[in-house]
Amino acid sequence: MKTYDRPKLDIPKTMFERIMDGAAIGAFFGIVVYLVSAWGVLPEQVPAHYNAAGEVDRWGSKWELVMLPVIAALLWVGMTFLEKHPEWHNYMALNERNIEFQYRNSRLMLNVLKNLIVPMFAYLSYRSTKVALGEADSLGVMFLPIFLVLMIAPLIIFITRSLRNR
């Protein structure tokens, strides 16, 4: 089925998707409030980049901390827009028999990914603030493996589901 032939189906969001959206929005506003409240005590130089072991390898202006929630918000909004248009997504095996399942599966994958990204960015902002204030040394050696698992596992799960339901 060609992209331009795909029907636009009206598939309402599930309760799970709405709860995930709410949790991510909560995490976003929580980190914004935290950064605003900590702003006055932050030093001028804060962690701006970490190596694979979670150790600071570049320091930058405290204004760089503002970029993390901004990037998270832009990703969330962009992925929400794409989530509303599953007919634009790329599919390996789409036909009339499985179109509704494939649309739901693809939309749910985007929902899960976007709603995992925001709390990860919130944690990164929180932890960077703690490092800047001298209350922590690093992100920790487990940040990168956990982040990678949280980004790759949903992809594997949802691609497997898509292939099983050809």
Sign of the CA dihedral with 99 first, then 101, 105, and 111 last = positive
> What are 6-60's pLDDT values in tens digits?
888 999 999 999 999 999 999 999 999 999 999 999 999 999 999 999 999 999 9
Q: What tokens were used for 97?
A: 């028999």
Integer-rounded Cα Rg, in Å, for the chain is: 19
Whole-model pTM: value is 0.89
User: How many CA atoms lie less than 13 Å away from 53 in the CB half-sphere?
Assistant: 4
- Measuring CA to CA, how many Å separate 141 from each of 18, 30, 32, 151, 165? 32, 25, 25, 17, 38
107 vs 87: CA distance, rounded Å: 10
> What are 105-142's pLDDT values in tens digits?
999 999 999 999 999 999 999 999 999 999 999 999 99
Domain regions of the chain by residue span: 13-164
Which residues lie across from 45 on neighbouring strands?
61
Q: What tokens were used for 35?
A: 């950064």
pLDDT band of residue 4 (cuts 50, 70, 90) is low
Q: What tokens were used for 116?
A: 């995992």
